[in-house]
Amino acid sequence: MKHLAFSWSMGVGLSLATIAAGSAVAATGGGSGGMSSMLPAGIEQSGFGTLPDGRSVECYTITNANGIEMRVINYGGIILSLETPDRYGRMDDIVLGFDSLGDYLSPTYRQANPYFGALIGRYGNRIADGRFAVDGQTYQLPTNDGPNTLHGGNEGFNQKLWNAQPFSSSDGRGVVMTYTSPDGEQGFPGELATRVTYTLTDDDALVIDYRARTSKTTPVNLTQHSYFNLAGEGNPSILDHQLTINASAYTPVDETLIPTGEIAPVAGTPFDFQTPTTIGSRLGQRDTQLAYGKGYDHNFVLIKNAAAPQTLTRAARVVEPNSGRVLEVETTEPGLQFYSGNFLDGTLVGKSGQPYVLRSGLALETQHFPNSPNQSNFPSTRVEPDETYHSQTVYRFSTEDNLP
């Protein structure tokens, strides 16, 4: 079968021939791209272990001009660590995860499946009953979250070995990840050639650019699933973090966390984060939606510029008052899933040796809405063979000097 070739410009100094070669490697099992001997300044490459089938996993350590450091592996596109300064200049790792490949492959992790730091696809979030139709043909996916499909099925993009190419450009330095998902993988139609670019900029932002092409009409919804704790990984709680979400509405869910189809106002509910609100301040309220999610696990409908809905707009801002760390999220996507770490139970022990307990990390997943293929009133996730799926999200890091 002839594999899809990318036809867009990289924008990171790599040729189209390199992209095509990278896509072919990804389709046959991934790899490091063979560039360890010609790494750009600010990027280091090292081995991160071996998969059960013998394929090697590589780790890329990327450092910007201000000392912010990100480590990412080509297994699952996982962001292992992200070190940023507090208001006094002290560095801490602010994302949950592990230092060992074995931890990500362990039965304990696979059973809990929190998706720490991973690229998510083909479809981020949930699809009801694992089923959708395209032009009258019904497709059945594996159900891995009760009756529903979550984050692409039993073996989503978070468990794939991606081809990785490090780069440096005028925008920053980072890694281009490519993976070609074969037609029918996890039940989805079409071969999907996917490229995700992580760029760490010198103005302290992580830019994530997602692109994909398909051979058949199919739904696509890619995202990134890092868990943040701005007090530092291993800190037991994110409940004192102050959160603002640029959304006046959200999508309520049923007891299996599938949206009902309603777009409901947040005003007067525990879901109103239009002004800075401490995350833990309303978690104890008697609310059906909080009960269904065991906390926050809901899609927020972002306020977008109707004249230019694909432009980057503010999605969220998080402040940790003691460290002064600030995380701002911008995206071209219409939705944001705020997840308050409701299913972390202390079973998994992270890099600092501390267990990841209830609400010790939060996720802010930029996305199209959950179950969009089955909700005609939601923004469409349908991608045609003559289209390029394109989405971009920016995580911006800073500090504020106000003491708590």
Place of tokens 């925008």: 171
Amino acid at 186: Q
- How far apart are alpha carbons 6 and 179 in whole angstroms? 11
Residue 336 near residue 299 (C-beta atoms within 8 A): yes
Among 195, 227, 164, 214, CA closest to 356: 227
Single out the catalytic residue among 151, 225, 241, 298. Answer: 225
Single out the catalytic residue among 233, 333, 365, 368. Answer: 365
Helix (H, G, I), strand (E, B) or coil at 345: coil
- How far apart are alpha carbons 372 and 181 in whole angstroms? 21
Torsion of CA 86, 91, 94, 98, to 10 degrees: -170
Among 82, 81, 57, CA closest to 160: 57
Helix (H, G, I), strand (E, B) or coil at 315: strand
Distance of CA 121 to the CA centre of its chain: 9
Among 240, 180, 175, CA closest to 29: 180
Residue 301 near residue 252 (C-beta atoms within 8 A): no
Is the link from the previous residue into 122 a cis peptide, with omega within 30 of 0? yes
Residue 243 near residue 316 (C-beta atoms within 8 A): yes
Active site includes 390?
A: no
Amino acid at 370: P
> DSSP for 24-87?
HHHHTT-B-TT-GGGPPTTEEEEEEEE-TTS-EEEEEEEE-TT--EEEEESBTT-EEEEEEE-T
Active site includes 233?
A: no
Which whole-number Å values give the CA distances from 359 to 8, 227, 273, 374, 378, in the listed order? 40, 10, 18, 31, 29
Residue 75 near residue 61 (C-beta atoms within 8 A): no
Among 160, 164, 163, 221, CA closest to 188: 221
Catalytic residue annotation:
225, 365
